[in-house]
Amino acid sequence: MTDLQSRPTPAAASGGGDSTAARVAPRPRPKRLVRRGVRHAIMIVASIVMIYPLLWMVVSSLRPNDEIFRNPGLFPISLDFSNYARGWESLAQPFSHYLMNSTLLVLGCVIGNLIACSLTAYAFARLKFWGRNIAFAVMLMTLMLPIHVVIVPQYIIFSQTGWVNTMLPLILPKFLATDAFFVFLMVQFIRGIPRELDEAARIDGCGHFRIFFQVILPLMLPALATTTIFTFMWMWNDFFGSLIYLTTPENFTVPLALKSFLDTQGSSDWGAMFAMSVVSLIPLFLVFLFGQRFLVKGFATTGIK
Amino acid sequence: MSAVGELTQIVSGRKKGGAKEKHRDNKAGLIFMAPWLVGLLAITLIPMIASFALAFTDYSLLAPPEFVGLANIREMISDTRLHNSLVVTFIYVFVGTPLQLVAALLLAVVLNAGIKGLAFYRSIFYLPSLLGGSVAIAILWRQMFGANGLINQVGGMLGFENLPGWVSNPDTALSTIILLHVWTFGSPMIIFLAGLRQIPEMYYEAASVDGATKLAKFFRITLPLLTPIIFFNVVLQVINAFQSFTQAFVVSGGTGGPSDSTMFYTLYLYQKGFTQFDMGYASAMAWLLLIIVAIFTAINFFVSKFWVFYDD
């Protein structure tokens, strides 16, 4: 069926004979139109299935509680913001407190990753030093290391330094380039920068630090942007680490606040829970809208979620 | 080149250069590498070794660790909840990952065939994978698959009355989490799309001249040339899936229930280590997880020789 369609037939080739031309510029035929229609229909149905739960959650967050369990549709759209008002105030702290905590965590992690990973990446991509290949292989292997193998001793260390229930155990490792994913991403990027630029700077008397800061760093802004966006999304969603290290409500981040909703509300006030869930997703959605270009690039070069 | 590809090259000694280079940047190298080196030692290697040592102790943070030999391992061998958590995790990994990757590949191929509104569809499919790891979505899932949730409301409209609560039924709770995993196929799809775009058009043109069918082109050009990327996705998604935690935790309210049907291995590890503070046992469990992940990654690399095709 499909193979018949892709093969150019004399009828399709205007003037006949030249089959290559027919392949390049096929004239729309009824069959082709139907096939195109079917393909679009499938994609539209798939899109709706994919996106419907999200739309429904947003719409439901603006509905009274009992309607959430009665109306699976999107209409009528009500604009009742009482869920938001109630959800905002129903935990130990106002929700803005958790948003602030998450923002601080994300900021610290972004700065840490930008500094530490770019330094490491420059060394891997441009410097020749003893043991580089082995170190690089080790770095790639840590990419695949389950965090669980190190979390217990890390917890013990941080509980001895008195840092449990602070953000330090979550932020400090970022300043030590432990997110190998970003190191690799930046290494790939720096490798794509022409070496002639370094050489020229070196001839002008620049050392590695000036080459790094004045030549490489300005050129790797796209990689830094990708790192910022990914770090933002991962840490905004971070649950396992936060759950272990942040123990009292005043230090909770947004994911922990949402989790404590489930604990305290006994899953009854779904309206408020949906409302705060939507609030927690807004920053991610904005990043998706404005940073998609960098996200796609990050995926394409390194391919990790 | 992907991380997996490069690692393969270094380990197999295919990486060129290394030996012949003059080592002249040692000092600068040390300075630039210092944060990473400290991190490797303090955050990764030393904790790894400590975790290995702790696996042979009984330790609850309150008293110093007490050496107990193989007691933890013996306990693991007879711990039926642990065995159950392994089964749950294996089902999740080996059902969820293939489904997710097949969905990703199919939609990537369809999108790549050229369709109006490609950017729109791509965004729609991609968005869930960005949000899927969040607690918010897990909360949504819990409502959707609850007794009176969205799914059963729709079911009711279609004439299916009195459907059970999917998340509160031990037979179906895990499926809802697998479904959530499949729903996030957008990120591997993006990788597939990038890979598809790198296949040179001339291969298809040559095949057309030889009269190849569309199906033949897919199986003899697209699929073989895509195998390195499929391999890369399989390796990473399997590693990630073994470590899944948030969804099972939130959907089950931290219990792994009902009847341990969503007790992922990592969730059981968390409960042992951080709610019961049985740090020795949790460390032993962590090492078993590492060994399992390493074995499956090694199998993946080994088997890849037979099906992954490198064009270079």
Q: Domain segments of chain B: what residues?
A: 71-307
The pLDDT value given to residue B197: 86
Does A22 have pLDDT greater than 60? no
Contacts of B231 (CB under 8 A, 6+ apart): B4, B300, B304, B307, B308
Residue type, B257: G
pLDDT of residue B101: 95
1.10.3720.10, 3.10.180.10, 3.30.420.10, 3.55.50.30: CATH of B71-307: 1.10.3720.10
Residue A7 has pLDDT above 80, yes or no: no
> Please, how many CA atoms are within 13 Å of residue B152, restricted to the half-sphere of its CB?
19
What's the whole-number mean pLDDT along residues A205-218?
A: 91
Query: CATH code for A87-300?
Result: 1.10.3720.10
Res. B134: pLDDT tops 80 = yes
What are the tens digits of pLDDT across the range A257-293?
999 888 876 667 888 899 999 999 999 999 888 887 7
**Is A281–B134 a contact, with Cβ atoms under 8 angstroms apart?**
yes
- Taking alpha carbons only, the member of B237, B238, B242, B200 closest to residue B221 is B200
Residue A11 is predicted with a pLDDT of: 35
Residue-level pLDDT at B92: 96
In Å, what is the CA distance from B178 to each residue of A73, A135, A144, A289, B263? 25, 36, 22, 27, 13
A182 in contact with B, Cβ within 8 Å? no
A219-223, B11-15, B88-92, B307-311: lowest mean pLDDT where? B11-15
Averaged pLDDT for residues B5-12: 74
The answer to whether the CB atoms of A176 and B107 lie below 8 A apart is no
Position B141 pLDDT exceeds 90? yes
Token pair for A26:
């096929």
Does A24 touch chain B if contact means CB atoms closer than 8 Å? no
Residue A28: pLDDT band by 50, 70, 90 thresholds?
low
What pLDDT score does A297 carry? 66
**Cβ-Cβ contacts under 8 Å, B160 against chain A:** none
* pLDDT above 70 as % of chain B: 95
Backbone angles phi, psi at B3, to 5 degrees: -60, -40
CB contact, 8 Å: B43 with chain A?
Answer: yes
Mean pLDDT, residues A72-90 taken together: 85
Q: How many CA atoms lie within 13 A of A264 on its CB side?
A: 13
Which of A142, A156, A300 minimises the CB distance to B191?
Answer: A300
Question: A270-302 and A95-126 helices cross at what angle (nearest 10)?
Answer: 10
Residue A160 touches partner B, C-beta closer than 8 Å: no
Name all contacts of B171-175 with Cβ < 8 Å and 24+ positions apart: B171/B261, B172/B145, B173/B251, B173/B252, B173/B257, B173/B258, B173/B261, B173/B262, B174/B88, B174/B91, B174/B92, B174/B261, B174/B262
pLDDT value at B291 more than 50 = yes
- The band of A187, judged by pLDDT with boundaries at 50, 70 and 90, is very high
Q: Identify the pLDDT of residue A300.
A: 57
Reported as a pLDDT band with limits 50, 70 and 90, residue A17 is very low
What percent of chain A is predicted at pLDDT more than 70?
Answer: 86
How far away is chain A from the Cα of B94, in angstroms, using its nearest Cα? 18
DSSP assignment of chain B equals: --HHHHHHHHHTT---SGGGS----HHHHHHHHHHHHHHIIIIIIHHHHHHHHHTTEE--SSS--EE-TTHHHHHHHH-HHHHHHHHHHHHIIIIIHHHHHHHHHHHHHHHHT--TTHHHHHHHHHHHHHHTTSHHHHHHHHHHTSTTSHHHHHHHHTT--SPPPTTTSTTTHHHHHHHHHHHTTHHHHHHHHHHHHTS-HHHHHHHHHTT--HHHHIIIIIHHHHHHHHHHHHHHHHHHHHT--HHHHHHTTTS--STTTT--HHHHHHIIIIIS--HHHHHHHHHHHHHHHHHHHHHHHHHHHHH-----
| B29: Cβ contacts below 8 Å, ≥ 6 apart | A123, A127, A128, A129, A130, A132
Q: Which residue among A144, A154, A240 places its CB closest to the CB of B47? A: A154
Partners of A261 on chain B (C-beta within 8 Å) are 139
Residue B9 backbone phi and psi in degrees, to 5: -65, -45
Q: What is residue B214's predicted lDDT score, i.e. its pLDDT?
A: 85
Contact call for B24 and A128, based on CB within 8 A: yes
Q: What pLDDT score was predicted for residue A119?
A: 95
Q: Please, what's the largest Cα pairwise distance for chain A?
A: 83
**Cα A36 off chain centre by:** 33
Give residue B309's pLDDT: 83
Q: Is the pLDDT score of B232 beyond 90?
A: no
| Residue position matching structure tokens 């936060």 | A242
How far is Cα B308 from Cα B291, in angstroms, rounded to an integer?
24
In chain A, whose CA is at the least distance from the CA of B205?
A20
Phi, then psi, of B57 in degrees rounded to 5: -130, 170
pLDDT at B22 over 70: no
Q: Are B141 and B251 in contact (CB under 8 A)?
A: yes
> What is the pLDDT at residue B25?
81
Give pLDDT, residue A174: 96
What pLDDT band is residue A21 in, cutting at 50, 70 and 90?
A: very low
Is any Cβ of chain B less than 8 angstroms from the Cβ of A270?
yes
Report pLDDT for A70: 79
pLDDT recorded at residue A304? 45
| pLDDT of the residue at A182 | 92
| pLDDT single digits (tens) B277-287 | 999 999 999 99
Q: Across residues B148-161, what is the average pLDDT?
A: 85
Q: Please tell me the predicted confidence (pLDDT) of residue A73.
A: 81
Q: Residues 121-180, chain B: which have Cβ within 8 Å of A?
A: 121, 123-131, 133-137, 139-140, 142-144, 148-150, 153-154, 157
Give the mean model confidence (pLDDT) for residues B100-122.
88
Q: What percent of chain B has pLDDT over 90?
A: 51
Lowest-confidence segment of A29-33, A120-124, B289-293 by average pLDDT: A29-33
Contact (Cβ atoms closer than 8 angstroms) between residue A58 and residue A278: yes
Q: Is the dihedral of CA B302, B303, B305, B311 positive or negative?
A: negative
Interchain CB contact of A116 with B (< 8 Å): yes
Residue A8 above 50 pLDDT?
Answer: no
Higher pLDDT, A12 or A198: A198
- Who among A129, A148, A258 is closest to B289 (CB)? A148
Region A2-19 average pLDDT = 35
User: Domain limits of chain A?
Assistant: 30-86, 87-300
* pLDDT band of A19, cuts 50, 70, 90: very low
Of A3, A123, A254, the CB nearest to B214: A3
Can the peptide bond before residue B128 be classed as cis, meaning omega within 30 degrees of 0? Answer: no
Contact B36 A176 (CB under 8 A): yes
**Cα-to-chain-centroid distance, residue B39:** 24
Q: Does B194 touch chain A (CB under 8 A)?
A: yes
Does position B242 have pLDDT exceeding 80, yes or no? yes
From the list B1, B46, B293, which residue is nearest A146 (CB)? B293
Per-chain mean pLDDT for chain B: 88
pLDDT score recorded for residue A107: 97
- What is the average pLDDT across B170-178? 92
